Amino acid sequence: MMVPAMVWVVIFGYVPIFGVVIAFQNFRPALGMFGPQTFVGFENFNYVFHIPSIWGVIRNTLLISVSNLTLMLVVPILFALFLNEMKQMGLKRSIQTIVYLPHFLSWVILSGIFIDLLSPSNGAMSALLRMLGITPPDFLGDPKVFPVTVIVTNIWKNFGYGSIIYLAAISGVDTSLYESAEIDGAGRFKKMWHITLPGIRACIVLLMVLSLGGILDGGFDQIFNLYSIQVYSTGDIIDTLIYRIGLQNTNYSVGTAVGLMKSLISFILISISYFMAYKFTDYRVF
Amino acid sequence: MKLNAWRKKSFSVFPALNGFVLSVAALTCLLPVVNLLAVSLSGNAAATSGAVGLLPVDFTLDSYAMVIGNKDFWQAFLISVQRVFLAIIITTVMTTMVAYPLSQVSRKFKSRTFYAWFLFTPMLIQGGLIPWYFTLSSLGLVNSIWAFVIPGAVPVFNCFLLSNYIRQLPPALTEAAQIDGAGHTRVLVQIILPLCKPVLATLTLFTFVGNWNEWFQGLILMDTPSKYPLQTYLQVLNRDASSLLGGLTANIQQYINASSRSIKAAQIFVAIIPVAAVYPFLQKYFVKGIVIGSVKG
């Protein structure tokens, strides 16, 4: 029963891993993937570190991903905590239905929406800001503003979906704890701080640890669909750079070299994070 | 006592404020889509000048008429439908075929750990975009609809999810059937799968949405726009409006009351509809699915 899947994983999982030899070659597609290519040692890696924008790209990636990861912890937890306090079930359910929705729309759709909405000339957001007497910034065209736009729209898309897991964890907290806290005179916020949060601590730690592996991902789908050449200085990330060097400029070997370095660092981080998750919370993938 | 409790509740500021803030948060998630719909239904002049808020200005269905008449759009739409359909069939079959053996206890299936690690390792370390691309191109998958389906045929994480779900079913069920002489295939099809309906439904819906939303493979694996799935078609449209839309509408546009902006909005809105259509079913299951997948004992 496992045979087809094993064949599949060899072809689509392992062949690309061995395909990283491209990074050590002067790769020419016409000769075939494992054909008689010329090996050039670490020349491509040397080249990578001479790309003028490379350090900027690494900085952008880390800045955007660390902000994303931090906000994706804080905002969904806060949202879940406060949603949990809501007693009107109908409204609560409607709110949940609405906030989960953006997660299921692709960045192609959402970038279409945001490019229109945030357009400095005829977008509704700019019109709204002008009405309030604020000069609208060029959300997608100003290098200073672009990373903020990326981070905010990312949290906008995902905070609702991210809160599901915390809501589930909160509903698992022992209700008798709240009752005894009430008897001791604890108010709403005291209960949140001293019962709910410690009650979901394991869940928070687990998600925090597992998110570590994504630290070199700035969100390719999102940035690729929102950025433009005038915001490369602050918006270009590792994955978009790989795409542009490797596939657009057909500089296959250099693209693979960047990808390989990213994969190796991510591999170490993911392994550490799974190991920590296993140690702390007994989390297992299989 | 009862009155007292009621009074306390109604005078407390927190629930009202909390409800208000959370409702505003929810509205911010909805309003951009409402604005999109309004733009798509607005007349040429209003859309171009940017006077559209949450309601259409100078209401017209012309942009939707343009979308309905746009052959390229429907061609891409059809490719997406085919792709989703194929992906659901293939991934469901493959996921089941992997999950069932993996769900067996190690005592019965000695090399279980080896197979699990063999599948899991490529999730930890990847060759990256370019080796992946050349693997597919040397297999001749470029420009074929199978390029969207085969490379994703075994969603490894979903396999583990399903196998974990099967593991926590009471073993007595399968043992009883096996004593009665049922083989593995029979146990899987007649006993296990019917019990896995909620998980399978979740995975199917995720496959649907994932494949519907996927655009990057279309961009790099298809050489001609006529082979693009809908999301890739829209992606190219977003990036460069003149490439797909321009030639088509330039001469017709003077006769109708629709701007290229509202036509674009209408196409995006039509692309949302399939996701919106499965969303109620999705919502019923995904909460459960996430919880199974993430926090298990």
What are the residues whose beta carbons fall under 8 Å from the beta carbon of A7, sequence distance 6 or more? none
DSSP per position, A188-203: HHHHIIIIIHHHTHHH
Residue A130, in any domain of the structure: yes
Range of the domain at A243: 77-171+216-253
| Res A26: pLDDT | 92
For chain A, positions 178-207, list CB contacts with chain B under 8 A: 188, 203, 206-207
Quick check: helix, strand or coil at residue A168?
A: helix
Task: For B261, name the nearest residue in chain A, comparing CA atoms only.
Answer: A116
Tell me the C-alpha distance between A169 and A202, whole Å: 9
Q: Which helix (H) or strand (E) holds B242?
A: none
Does the structure show a pLDDT above 90 at A23?
A: yes
**Is A260's Cβ below 8 Å from some Cβ in B?**
yes
On chain B, the residues whose CB falls within 8 A of the CB of A108 are 213, 215, 231-232, 234-235, 238
Yes or no, beta carbons of A17 and B122 under 8 Å apart: yes
- Residues B18-50 have pLDDT tens digits of 999 999 999 999 999 999 999 999 888 888 777
Yes or no, beta carbons of A22 and B134 under 8 Å apart: yes
Residue A200 to chain B, least CA–CA distance (Å): 11
Residue A275, in any domain of the structure: no
Residue A2, in any domain of the structure: no
Residue A106, in any domain of the structure: yes
Chain A interface disruption, residue of B20, B130, B165, most A CBs within 10 A: B130
On chain B, the residues whose CB falls within 8 A of the CB of A284 are 296
Q: b/e map of B227-251 (b: 16 or more CB within 10 Å)?
A: bbbbbbbbbbbbeeeeebbeebbee
Yes or no, beta carbons of A286 and B135 under 8 Å apart: no
Does the structure show a pLDDT above 70 at B8?
A: no
Task: For B260, name the nearest residue in chain A, comparing CA atoms only.
Answer: A116
The closest CB to that of A169, out of B98, B272, B295, belongs to B295
| Res B257: pLDDT | 66
| Res B244: pLDDT | 46
On chain A, the residues whose CB falls within 8 A of the CB of B17 are none
Yes or no, beta carbons of B216 and A221 under 8 Å apart: yes
Does the structure show a pLDDT above 70 at A102?
A: yes
Tell me the two tokens of residue A39. 């090996």
Report residue A35's pLDDT band, with 50, 70 and 90 as the boundaries.
Answer: confident
Residue A179, in any domain of the structure: no
| Res B263: pLDDT | 87
Q: b/e map of B111-135 (b: 16 or more CB within 10 Å)?
A: ebeebbebbbebebbbbbbbbbbbb
Q: b/e map of A140-160 (b: 16 or more CB within 10 Å)?
A: bbeeebbbebbbebbbbbbbb
Residue A37, in any domain of the structure: no
Residue A207, in any domain of the structure: no
Q: Which of A218, A4, A270 is nearest to B123 (CA)?
A: A270
- Residues B100-112 have pLDDT tens digits of 999 887 777 778 8
Residue B235 to chain A, least CA–CA distance (Å): 5
Can you say how many angstroms the Cα of residue B196 is from the centroid of all Cα atoms in its chain? 21
Neighbours of B293 (CB within 10 A): 21
**Is A24's Cβ below 8 Å from some Cβ in B?**
no
Predicted TM-score of the model (pTM) = 0.89
Yes or no, beta carbons of B33 and A113 under 8 Å apart: yes
Does the structure show a pLDDT above 80 at B187?
A: yes
Q: Average pLDDT for residues B160-173, to the nearest whole number? A: 88
Yes or no, beta carbons of B138 and A32 under 8 Å apart: yes
Residue A186, in any domain of the structure: no
| Res B250: pLDDT | 47
| Res B297: pLDDT | 32
Does the structure show a pLDDT above 50 at B254?
A: no
Yes or no, beta carbons of A127 and B53 under 8 Å apart: yes
Tell me the C-alpha distance between B150 and B145, whole Å: 9
For residue A167, give the CATH number of its domain.
Answer: 1.10.3720.10
Quick check: helix, strand or coil at residue A25?
A: strand
Burial of A253 (0-12, 13-18, 19+ CB in 10 A): buried
Can you say how many angstroms the Cα of residue A233 is from the centroid of all Cα atoms in its chain? 20
- pLDDT averaged over every residue in chain B: 85
Amino acid making up residue B95: T
Does the structure show a pLDDT above 50 at B296?
A: no
Yes or no, beta carbons of B160 and A286 under 8 Å apart: yes
| Res B255: pLDDT | 53
Does the structure show a pLDDT above 60 at A195?
A: yes
Tell me the C-alpha distance between A44 and A254, whole Å: 5
The number of domains in chain A is: 1
Does the structure show a pLDDT above 70 at A14?
A: yes
For chain A, positions 66-95, list CB contacts with chain B under 8 A: 79, 82-83, 85-88, 91, 94-95
DSSP per position, A213-272: GGTT---HHHHHHH--GGGHHHH--HHHHHIIIIIIS--HHHHHHHHHHHHHHHHHHHHH
Does the structure show a pLDDT above 90 at B82?
A: yes
∠ at Cα A285 (A281, A286), nearest 5°? Answer: 120
Yes or no, beta carbons of A98 and B287 under 8 Å apart: no
Report residue B246's pLDDT band, with 50, 70 and 90 as the boundaries.
Answer: very low
Would you say the ipTM is above 0.85?
A: yes
Tell me the C-alpha distance between B83 and B81, whole Å: 5
DSSP per position, B175-224: HHHHHTT--HHHIIIIIIHHHTHHHHHHHHHHHHHHHHH--HHHHHH-SS
The closest CB to that of B50, out of A1, A115, A127, belongs to A127
**Is A104's Cβ below 8 Å from some Cβ in B?**
yes
- Residues A130-180 have pLDDT tens digits of 889 998 899 999 999 999 999 999 999 999 999 998 998 898 888 899 989
- Residues B118-150 have pLDDT tens digits of 999 998 888 999 999 999 999 999 999 999 999
Amino acid making up residue B117: W
- Residues A206-224 have pLDDT tens digits of 888 888 888 999 899 999 9
∠ at Cα B99 (B96, B105), nearest 5°? Answer: 140
Does the structure show a pLDDT above 60 at B274?
A: yes
